[in-house]
Amino acid sequence: MRRITGATIVAGVAGSPVTHSLSPLIHNAWLDAAGIDGVYVPFQPAGDRFDRFVEGLRGGAVRGINVTIPFKEVALSMADEVSKRAHDAAAANVLVFEPDGTIVADNTDGVGLLGAMKAQAPGFEIAAGPIALLGAGGAARGAAAALVTAGAPEVRILNRTLAKAEAVAGALGGGVKACPLSAAPEAFKGVTAVINATSAGLSGEGTLDAPLELTPETAVVMDMVYKPLLTPFLKQAQDLGRRTVDGLEMLIRQAVPSFETFYGRTPPELDVRALALGVLGEGR
């Protein structure tokens, strides 16, 4: 068993809710396997107190945190230094607390998204056609920026609150279009992929009513939500015969650069997907 010592490096994940997060499982399994004197813990600051929570970490008592729903935008606004990919995403899923008090923001969601697409939809070409992205929160911003950078000719952002989709489109420029969720029948035409980056479906709450049957048969369907692994959205896609990509693969792949940042080395070879599937109650 790993021992907590006076030199233990502390990192974690902050979100609200955070209890569903599998990040502690993944990072602690890597720490165990690598024999690193570190620990990774969940934090659930009050919704309106995230800024105070982060201010309290300034100075490096905690090495860094991943940031999840709904704090990614405010996390970015609190940083003193911002990586290009966090800047482009206008959202941060990693904050690092330097000993001199500096807070550095990064965004690894795009790395996770692209890595998951490559692993579970081999041969999928980002540049081959328009991609529909559902949601305009922190995760969607990171995804949209990564897709544009990777060469997507058009990203159609569909969101319940149109103004938020317009803000993302405005920040990312020409190839990104904003539509209300109700415009899905039109927006799904001719897409190469549909990606759910809304929190609908999280722990089975309020599912998304998306007309996936209007997508081309070759379209890839991805859901960032990973609990349950086969969300109603992915189940609908599978029933239609579409190729699917799950949120667990993205979670694991975005965790790799976070781990490297917090603990200073690449995660060890370990089948964390199998571990996570065990916790989710899914077979392999």
Residues that bind ligand NDP (CB under 6 A): 68-70, 72, 109, 112, 135-140, 159-161, 164, 197-200, 202, 206, 208, 224-226, 247, 250-251, 254
Least Å distance, CB 143 to ligand NDP, is: 8
Task: Compute the least distance from the CB of residue 164 to ligand NDP, in Å.
Answer: 4
Helix/strand/coil for 193: strand
CA–CA separation, 88 and 138 (whole Å): 12
Going along 163-249, which residue ranges are E strands?
Answer: 176-180, 193-196, 220-223, 243-245
Q: What does 26-70 look like in DSSP terms, one character per residue?
A: HHHHHHHHHT-SEEEEEE---TT-HHHHHHHHTTSSS-EEEE-TT
What is the set of active-site residues? 72
Q: How many CA atoms lie within 13 A of 265 on its CB side?
A: 12
Q: How far is the CB of 200 from ligand NDP (least distance, A)?
A: 3
In terms of CB distance, is 78 or 224 closer to ligand NDP?
Answer: 224
Shortest distance, position 67 Cβ to ligand NDP, whole Å: 8
What one-character-per-residue DSSP string does 90-127 give? T--SEEEE-TTS-EEEE--HHHHHHHHHHHHSTT--GG
* Between 2 and 49, CB nearer to ligand NDP: 49
| 58 or 160: CB nearest ligand NDP | 160
Nearer to ligand NDP, 3 or 208 (CB): 208
Q: How far apart are CA 72 and CA 86, in angstroms?
A: 10
Distance CA 240, CA 72 (A): 33
